[in-house]
Structure 1
Amino acid sequence: MKKNFKGILLGLSSGMFWGLDTALNGLVLTMAPFILADARLISGTLLLAFFHDFISALLLTADIGVHGGLKATVTLLKNRSAHFVMVAALFAGPLGMRAYLYAVDTIGSGLTATISAIYPAVAAILGAIFLKDYLNKRGWLGLMLTITAIGILGYTNLASVGSMVLGILAALLCVFGWASESVITAYGMKDDIEPKQALFIRQWTSSLAYLLFMFFEGDWMFSVQAVVLSPSIWLTVALAVVGTLSYLCYYSAIDTIGPVKATGLNVTYSIWTVVFTLILMGGEFDLKLIVCGLLIIVGSSLVIKD
């Protein structure tokens, strides 16, 4: 019972931190140098994705090193289970996260969070196929209720959506990447890898993949220097810290209660994204936000209840 409660709390915390992460992403992408039209600069979404995961990787390295577990963690890289985590990292980072940031930059953080939040349904299907991790009827009802509430929350005028096809497709690509990550990571952590070690492997794999893309996209040294020397670097670091906390909670939830329930709880980031975006960007709460927030809570409760 205590283990299940811990997993539920971790899953909900991952959603809250990721909602803040999404809102901060939207804010950072409006700042220099991410919006500068300099031909030497790499695209803002790729640049931010790299810093997001690279700073996170440095933080995890320092934390594991301080606790004396760095050598043991590096040794795990030769294990088969670590290779699955690396594959999951490629689905989550270069595929999922970059698509997510592109969508945030194109169609906004609110609509992106809305569309991408259907990934638990995809994860549930993949989990049932590959891990035999099934939701019961009540769980499926809760998941569908949550996704419906998210759809209502992010509803926009269809006429405006037509001009944002690429952003919507990017958000759907993110759905596939994140759903695959949760299932592959759960498989990789079945044996001998702890959540923090898995996240260490994930962030370094993702960072190196981003760096490889940066080599081919533009002047990567100039772009990195532009970010480091800009006032936005401090907000970028704060963003990476928040992202790391979200990932740690999420991976721990996957390890504790399984990928299906963990994603069902993590999806609450959609409501947190709206809340934090309103706080950071300004705006007013409305009845739709309150009602949908309650539906998401009810839906998530059905998902986690055995």
Structure 2
Amino acid sequence: MFEGLLAGLLWGLDTVIIGIALSMTPFLSTEQAIFLSPFVSTFIHDFFSSLWMIMYMVIRKEFSKVLNALKSKSGKFIVLAALIGGPLGMTGYVLSIKYIGAAYTAIISAMFPAVGALFSYIFLKEKMKLYQLAGLFISIGGVIALGYTPGGSDVDNVLLGFLFALMCVVGWAAEAVIIAYGLKDPNISDEQALQIRQLTSAVFYAIIILPLLGGWGLSFNIFTSSTMPIILISALFGTTSYLFYYKAINKIGASKAMALNITYCAWAIVFGFFILQESVSGKDILFAAIIIGGSIVAASDIKELFKRNKQKNELKKIS
């Protein structure tokens, strides 16, 4: 649970820092740059994240194990998860924003833990108790309330926008479930899985998405601009977040880890206040607390907690 919460907290920090980068000149210089910015920033973010992971694995002298894991059946499932959650899920998210706006996209995409819980039940036989499901939907409700903006934005194609948002939801939910399946292999660690995931995503963006969209020109501009160090720092926090996320998936299951991960919406408010001096309303504080509280309930096993407390008390009596 603690690792799952840390994953959400660090992703909230990553979100704020990448937001700073996206507000800088290279991403706003032309209309094409504005359109390409989500794709290019995701590519650079995942590229640097894969480099951070390579450094981490080399220091631990485990990089050769990543290559061995990549050749295994479970490693191929992790590659599939990377393609579904990264390029597919993220592309759906970006295109949904284009057609129905950021507010409605955020609301719909927040449903991915619920879909993930369903997938986990069907494919992994993970079960959530009624109070855990209630906590999950309370948390999702908090995200929806936090992201809702009355009036919305201009809509050119509502149906297409909703379809892309659903593609994002299914992609992100399926990624966590497939990763959980891949991590059942005792020969693949959380770190190896993350290395495969980030490298797969970066390579796919580099050879498929960016050439199709004509995004390499902007990418080279970013690499040589003052924005690059900010994305590098963002990628470091994002990598650490993913590490904790994968550890949580491995230890408490995909459905509970996803429930904790969406707390990034609440943590982003906290970091936005301290780093960017953004104003925070009473509504923001209330729904942030609801999101975090609901997620903790969703990931908690009350019987297990009582059992552990009972064991601790018995050990104290014996000592």
What TM-score, normalized by structure 2, do the two folds share?
Answer: 0.85
2:166 paired with 1:175: no
Change (3 A) 1:159 1:54: closer
Pairwise CA distance, 1:189: 0.7
- Matched residue type, 2:177: V
Cα deviation, residue 90, structure 1: 0.4
Asked if 1:304 is matched to 2:299, the reply is: yes
| Aligned residue in 2 for 1:48 | 41
In the alignment, structure 1 residue 65 sits paired with structure 2 residue 58: yes
Report what 1:85 is aligned to. 78
Cα offset for 1:10?
0.6
Q: For 1:38 and 1:300, locate their aligned partners in 2 and report how far apart those are by CA, in whole Å.
A: 38
Helix, strand or coil for the counterpart of 2:153?
helix
Match of 2:20 among 11, 20, 27: 27
Q: Is the 8 A contact 1:113 1:273 kept in 2?
A: no
Give matches, 1:186-205, under 5 Å. 186-191=180-185, 192-205=187-200
Query: Structure 2 CA distance, aligned partners of 1:286 and 1:164?
Result: 32
**Which runs of 5 or more structure 2 residues have no equivalent in the other structure?**
302-319
For 1:71, give the aligned amino acid. Answer: S
Taking structure 1 as reference, are residues 80 and 223 closer, same or farther at Cα in structure 2, changes over 3 Å only? same
What's the counterpart of residue 211 of structure 2? Answer: 215
> Greater CA radius of gyration, 1 or 2?
2
Cα shift at 1:41: 9.8
Residue 135 of structure 1 aligns with an amino acid whose one-letter code is M
Distance in 2 separating the partners of 1:162 and 1:122: 26
Q: Is the 8 A contact 2:106 2:144 kept in 1?
A: no
Partner Cα separation in structure 2 for residue 224 and residue 15 of structure 1:
28
CA distance in 2, matches of 1:16, 1:102: 26
Tell me which amino acid in the other structure corresponds to 2:180: A
Backbone CA RMSD of aligned residues: 2.5
* Count of paired positions: 297
Task: Provide Cα deviations, 1:263-297, integer angstroms capped at 9, x if missing partner.
Answer: 11111111112333344444322121122122223
Distance 1:14 1:119 in 2: 16
| 1:275-294 equivalence runs, <5 A | 275-294=270-289
Query: Distance between the aligned counterparts of 1:120 and 1:236, measured in 2?
Result: 27
Q: Note the alpha carbon deviations across 1:222-270, whole angstroms, 9 max, x for none.
A: 3332111111011110111111011101001001111011011111111
Q: 1:163 and 1:264 mapped to 2: Cα distance?
A: 32
Mark the CA change 1:115 to 1:278 in structure 2 (over 3 Å): closer, same or farther.
Answer: farther
CA apart distance, 1:75: 1.4
**CA distance in structure 1 between the partners assigned to 2:278 and 2:38 by the alignment:** 25
For 1:106-145, list aligned pairs within 5 A: 107-108=101-102, 113-145=106-138
Query: Cα distance, 1:113 vs. partner?
Result: 4.6
CA distance in 2, matches of 1:147, 1:199: 26
Instruction: Give the Cα separation in 2 of the matches to 1:40 and 1:260.
Output: 36
Residue of 85, 90, 107 corresponding to 1:97? 90
Cα distance in 2 for residues equivalent to 1:40 and 1:275 = 29
Aligned to 2:316: none
